[in-house]
Amino acid sequence: MSWRTKVRAAIVSMPILMAGPALAADDPAVLKDLTAVIALQGQPCGQVVTATKQGDNDYAVACKDGSRYRVFVNAEGRVVVQKQ
C-alpha cells in the first residue's frame, strides 16, 4: 500500500470516526422526552426538532424556535438544561 493510499484512507475514515460519539437521535420518543424536560425546566423551546447524543445522558438539542440547549445529567444525578 502506497503512502498516498494510506493518506486517502485516513482522510476518508476520519469523519466517520469523529462522528461516532455524536449520533443524531431521531427517535420521536427521545425528542418528546427532551421537549418535556426543557419545558419542565421552564426554558423556551416549543418543540425539539433535532437532538444529537454527545454521551451518556447528554444531548445537544435544537428547538423549533431556533434556540439550542445541552441537556445532560450532572454528577449529582440532576437533569440540567443548559442554554448554548
Q: Which is nearer to another protein, 8 or 32 (CB)?
A: 32
Provide the minimum distance between the beta carbon of 36 and another protein in the complex, in angstroms, as a whole number.
Answer: 4
- List the end-to-end C-alpha distance of the chain, in Å, as a whole number: 45
Provide the minimum distance between the beta carbon of 33 and another protein in the complex, in angstroms, as a whole number.
Answer: 3
By CB under 8 A, what part of segment 13-72 binds another protein? 29-30, 32-34, 36-37, 40-41, 57, 71
DSSP 3-state of 84? coil
Please provide residue 57's backbone torsions phi and psi, each rounded to the nearest 5 degrees: 55, 45
Cell numbers standing for residue 76:
449529582
Number of residues that bind another protein (CB under 8 A): 15
